[in-house]
Amino acid sequence: MTSKRQKLSLVAEAQTLCELPLYPGTLGPDVIDVQALYQATGLFTYDPGFSSTASCRSAITYIDGDAGVLLYRGYPIEQLAEHCRFLEVCYLILHGELPDPDPLRAFERNITLHTMVHDQLSNFFKGFRRDAHPMAILVGVVGALSAFYHEALDIRSGRDREMSAIRLIAKVPTIVAMCHKYSTGMPFMYPQNRLGYVENFLYMMHATPCDEYRPNPVLVNALDRILILHADHEQNASTSTVRLSGSSGANPYACVSAGIACLWGAAHGGANESVLNMLEEIGDVSRIPAYIARAKDRNDPFRLMGFGHRVYKNYDPRARLMRSTCHEVLNELDLHDDRLFALALELERIALEDDYFIGRKLYPNVDFYSGIVLHALGIPTKLFTALFAMGRTVGWIAHWAEMISDPEHRIGRPRQLYTGPARRDVPAGHRRTR
Ligand code: ACO
């Protein structure tokens, strides 16, 4: 099959069953349009886990997992991580182009002016136990935002969609910091309009009414980079969840809340928290071989957290960038002898030399290093996935908006291969007598 061919013929027993159109993308594999397949043949396609299925057209992010390439709107992640700030990348992901200085200033100002949450929203926190997982609170409170902005919830209005994007990018960090303060019993800190996006988040996390907090610029840069690296990753599980939820016409806050729920899983965004828990459990370099043996044992469900990726079958380019940020932060904080980091490096070294991991192309992923950096930044382990959600909010909302504006969009409704019992009657003994 080449992109020059326009159609693929489905032939069975020398008879053409149907002709399926082929579409080329700007980069990456062509796709076969199977929309007409069922009508023409009575057949469904079967692809659990969506390994070979494109669910939409998208112009936001491109990944070549074999080559280890990640582009946002065409720009390589390495260049964006080196030359841009997170809010510039947000603008790029939302609008398709890097901003000139004036639109960037206006965008930053707009975000800043929406960082405060409705005071009534604080009451939601009181309904949660203090030891609730921050992701449980985040799912609830972000979903609850839809109860506050009735005036801008018309999903067909470009202006309302833009407003929802600004509100979500601005308020999710405030809510994440509130989750932290609530769990520690400390008062919520209001956002400060004089501070940049990341500084403001660190301020809301670490300042108290009794104490000034001055964020360290190296740590601000590290967190900014973490957010850039997590900003989007095309049709991953949580983004697909946001799109599927939104396909029914649900409001963006509800959809992003569904994305947060999906992200929480350990096979997805929950991995950064699992990495730290795993390192704590391993505890000492001498115990690594036993854990590697467990990871390789088919009868043991244990997996090396932070290794492997559905799409990257090469080094995850985000992991490479995160690894260097990890070194910068540990140098700045003089933590190079940190027990967990030493463990992580040894684990990485052994796994990269082991035939099991080499053969299966299991490389460290971005979560392997981001967990260590977040730990060094003083972010509690339970909050790691919430920080991933903070970075990914822009990706979720950009995909949601792209889907709503796509004239081809319909409610998402997958089909199935039914394997349950064939039709049967309720036995006579089970029939209710009236
Ligand atoms: N440790 C040990 N073995 C592994 C690991 C791992 N981390 N990941 C995959 N494998 C093995 C599988 O057992 C399987 O082996 P087999 O061929 O002998 O059966 C093979 O590698 C292929 O694995 P799959 O599960 O089929 O790969 P899939 O693409 O479905 O899963 C996933 C990808 C979920 C990321 C998986 O690698 C994993 O669970 N990793 C650990 C969790 C993690 O780090 N998740 C973060 C993902 S990145 C992100 O969300 C930002």
Distance 66 CA to ligand 1 centre (A): 16
Q: Which long-range contacts (CB under 8 A, 24 or more apart) does 334-337 make?
A: 335/376
Which has more pLDDT, 87 or 277?
A: 87
Neighbours of 36 (CB within 10 A): 12
Task: Name all residues whose Cβ lies below 6 A of ligand 1.
Answer: 267-269, 271, 295, 303-310, 360, 362, 365-367
Mutual angle of helices 384-405 and 86-95, in 10-degree steps: 20
From atom 34 of ligand 1, which residue's Cα is the shortest distance away?
267
**pLDDT of residue 1 exceeding 60:** no
Contact between 405 and 243 (Cβ < 8 Å): no
432 DSSP assignment = P
Confidence of residue 45 (pLDDT cuts 50, 70, 90): very high
What Rg value do the Cα atoms of the chain yield, rounded?
24
The string of pLDDT tens digits covering residues 279-337 is: 999 999 999 999 999 999 999 999 999 999 888 888 889 998 998 898 889 888 887 77
Of 401, 111, 212, give the one whose Cα is nearest residue 202: 212
**pLDDT of residue 433 exceeding 90:** no
Sheet of 61-64, strands arranged across: 61-64, 69-72, 75-76
The string of pLDDT tens digits covering residues 98-152 is: 999 999 999 999 999 999 999 999 999 999 999 999 999 999 999 999 999 988 8
Known catalytic residues are: 309, 367
